[in-house]
Amino acid sequence: MTISFDRIPATLDELKALPEASLKEPEFGAALFVAAMMNYKDDPAAAISMLEFLKGPAGVPEYEKQFIRDRLSDGKEYVVRSYFAGTSPENNYTPSVPFTVTPEKDAASEQDGRVRVFMRSSGADSPRMIKMRLKASTGEWFIEEEMILSDIRIPKDMDPWA
């Protein structure tokens, strides 16, 4: 599934105004996670408030906030940008507009109201996973676990060997 954003939502209200905020497909939450984390560098509180929405009843525990802070500090926000179309280490992970992501649901993994969604980073050799959980009473898919903020190849402008 391909999902595009004309612009990255900067607030929780802007995120909720997007059609994908219905969370009726597991890919919607995965795509919105990437969009939300694009705000982390300039407004960590806004990014976390969006993540709170995307996590649903589970919320965001302190250890997860610390994990995100550790992963996206020291100029590593390029990790998030790497999930958008048009990015590469050579162009310093500069996405094209509209901002497009392609989350892929692993239908074979669906069981007990959970499913894995894979996202491709242009700086990694294999796709990264976000586990989604269905809230049966509302039909919404929420993020249960994400594993897409791991290190990737550094951008060309940060590579001393480039």
pLDDT tens readout for residues 93-120: 999 999 999 999 999 999 999 999 999 9
In a domain, 120, yes or no: yes
Provide the residue range defining the domain that includes 116: 3-155
Checking if the pLDDT of 74 tops 90, the result is no
Q: Is residue 129 part of a domain?
A: yes
3-state secondary structure the chain: CCEEECCCCCCHHHHHCCHHHHCCCHHHHHHHHHHHHCCCCCCHHHHHHHHHHHHHHHCCCHHHHHHHHHHCCCCCCHHHHCCCCCCCHHHCCCCCCCEEECCEEEEEEEECCEEEEEECCCCCCCCEEEEEEEECCCCEEEEEEECCCCCCCCCHHHCCCC
Q: Is residue 51 part of a domain?
A: yes
Flag whether 162 is in a domain: no
161: in domain: no
What would the pLDDT profile of 31-49 be if each residue is shown by its tens digit? 999 999 999 999 999 999 9
**Overall number of domains in the chain:** 1
